[in-house]
Chain A
Amino acid sequence: MRESAGRFTLAIAQISTRLGDVQGNLEKHLALARQARASGADLIQFPELSLTGYALQDLTPTVALRPNTKDPVFRHLLQASRGIDLIAGFVEADARSRFFIAAAYLSRGELVHIHRKVYLPTYGLFDEGRFFAWGDSVRAFDTRFGRVGMLICEDFWHASPPYLLWLDGADLLYFASASPGRGLSADPRLASASWVEHINQAYASLFTVFVAHANRVGFEDGLNFWGGSTVFDPDGRRVAQSPYHQEAVTLAELDLAQLSRTRTRLPLLRDERTALTLRELLRMQASGAGQAGGKEGGHD
């Protein structure tokens, strides 16, 4: 990287996947990683469940991986990460046969971090809670390109995970989705696309961070995935935009010095009163007021 310059190039790989065909999807990851590296990218970001496809249902156990050097799929991805940092989506199996929707950050042949999806939508057209276990941590981590956090789709439909990552030191938020398109109206964008773009722009603005969102495209039966991946900078400006409904690799050069410039103008991070927030949350939890801890018994 050009670490000294505080700049790096992100490639968002907005792909379609084959449902349940890990080998086929792996080959696409490796080819695009090579291509992105040749284009000068330092990091390539793939969408949610990019190695497996989304609506897995009973395919879940058959596509699950253990992310280590012995795993035949991860061995190839780790090898590829010697040339370019890589974020990929997969189904993680733990030692006790629980399955998680997960994202892995790989760099220089090493596994740097795994995030397990903490919010599994199980309503409307979604049925994730039926097939997957709930992740139980939200942590920022250090990379060659700054301290970052990863979230997966429904994770960032809730305000608390991005907020936690911000407080944990993340200056770049990498969001991954397999977002089914819905809400056709007179608007040129689907309602699901407008909503996600609004909140991602809002997170970038409220937290004065970079927010990169990799969404997939293609179809699974009647579900369409709308793509439209974006990068917003700490001022909330859209610095990259992928097309809707088409495969694309979109490059964005990110200038980390913008973090300092924005926060000097707008010191929201400096002034954030975490002790106050925590005090109030603990009060609500102790008194049983509001929704604080509402899911404690259920999933945590």
Chain B
Amino acid sequence: MTEPAPDLTINTDLARQILVEFLRTEIQRAGFSHGVIGLSGGVDSALACYLAAEALGPENVLAVRMPYKTSAPESYEHAELVVRATGVQEKTLPVTPMADALFELVPDAGSIRRGNVFARLRMILLYDQSAEFQGLVVGTGNKTEILLGYTTLYGDSACALNPLGDLYKTQIRQLARAVGVPEVILAKPPSADLWAGQTDEGELGFTYEQVDRLLLLLVDGRYSPQACVEAGFSAKLVEQVIERIRRNQYKRLPPPIAKLSNRTIGYDFLYLRDWGT
């Protein structure tokens, strides 16, 4: 049996309208008019930049490039394409001196630790620029990576609000194409760009197209694991993906507070962020 084709197609006009209005409304309600985005040269942050520029006006968006000395030169160039196309403000703050100073202290840190260090240092730079620019940090994490936990806690996942977190990577590509993200960014393999030749799909062990169709059945369609196998996905992939989702739940929630009183933050002290606005 061949794998099915669950339909990940989205109406990009409608998605764009909702997400642009979401950014505009929610940033203004928080008392701000500016947004700050870490622009990597990849498709997620490019899309977030296009949406933020449309929502807030390009002069009110600051795109921050934070390359490390080994980052691929084309990442920098692709970010430049986005800056030019959207007209947003731009700043380049290399993460190299901060990262190298840290790595001197922990010379044995392997690639996962180093990757997390880059993600968290970039978070520090972004939040500092947030204070300087008086803008909120716009998140760029997508639904696929949030579900799979392919993200650094308090690193790339840190943001004030996230317009992309309910779109699978496959859908991000559709919307990015519709808003005009350059083809060269859409066409290249997604990568965290931590070392030469690294790709998301190489690290994960499956393609986004494959896993997005499975996630659509498992998460959105509420299919049982067995039903996913019957629908044509390999039992190994189904098991691996379910385990990743379960194991990474902690990354999707604030840390638990030990309940002692009658009213505890997170359990029975419940208000939206938009409280009073």
Contact = CB atoms under 8 A, between A and B. Distances in A.
Contacts of B275: 19-20, 59
A19 B9 contact: no
B10 A19 contact: no
A220 interface: yes
A49 B9 CA distance: 34
B14 A221 contact: no
A218 to B, nearest CB: 7
Nearest to A131: B270
B9 A186 contact: yes
Given A55-B272, A186-B11, A221 B26 contact: yes
A245 B21 contact: yes
Given A19-B277, A219-B26, A245-B18, A57 B271 contact: yes
Contacts of A20: 275-276
B273 interface: yes
Majority SS of interface residues in chain A?
loop
Of the four ranges (under 10, 10 to 19, 20 to 34, 35 or more), the interface on chain B belongs to: 20 to 34
Interface string B1-29: 00000010111011101100110011001
Interface in B149-195: 161, 166
Contacts of B104: none
Interface in A177-232: 181, 184-190, 218-222, 224
Given A57-B270, A59-B271, A185-B9, A18 B276 contact: yes
A255 interface: no
A185 B168 CA distance: 12
B227 to A, nearest CB: 20
A189 B270 CA distance: 31
A300 interface: no
Contact of A221 (B18, B268, B274): B274
A125 B165 CA distance: 16
A245 B17 contact: yes
A21 interface: yes
A72 B170 CA distance: 52
A181 B19 CA distance: 12
Contacts of A181: 18
Interface in A69-114: none
Contacts of A58: 268-271
A21 B21 contact: no
A86 B81 CA distance: 53
Interface in A105-151: none
Interface string A5-48: 00000000000001111000000000000000000000000000
Contact-size category for A: 20 to 34
Contacts of B18: 181, 184, 224, 245
Contacts of B29: 219
Nearest to B270: A57
B157 to A, nearest CB: 15
Contacts of A186: 7, 9-11
A55 B21 CA distance: 19
A184 B274 contact: no
Interface string A242-275: 0001000000000000000000000000000000
A58 B265 CA distance: 12
Of residues B9, B17, B275, B276, which shows the largest number of chain A Cβ atoms within 10 Å of its Cβ?
B275
Contacts of A59: 271, 275
Contacts of B268: 58
Most chain A CB neighbours (cut-off 10 Å) among B26, B166, B277: B277
Contact of B272 (A185, A220, A224): A220
Interface string B236-277: 000000000000000000000000000000001111111111
Nearest to B167: A184
Nearest to A127: B270
Nearest to B161: A222
A126 B2 CA distance: 37
Nearest to A53: B274
Nearest to A54: B272
Contact of A184 (B15, B25, B26): B15
A90 to B, nearest CB: 17
A222 B10 contact: no
A59 B272 CA distance: 10
A15 to B, nearest CB: 14
B9 A219 contact: no
20 contacts: A18-B277, A19-B274, A19-B275, A53-B274, A57-B270, A58-B270, A59-B275, A184-B15, A185-B9, A187-B11, A188-B13, A218-B25, A219-B21, A219-B25, A219-B274, A221-B273, A222-B22, A224-B21, A245-B18, A245-B21
Interface of B: 7, 9-11, 13-15, 17-18, 21-22, 25-26, 29, 161, 166, 268-277
Given A57-B270, A186-B11, 16 more contacts: A19-B276, A20-B275, A57-B272, A58-B271, A184-B18, A185-B7, A185-B9, A185-B10, A186-B7, A188-B13, A190-B14, A219-B25, A220-B274, A221-B274, A224-B18, A245-B21
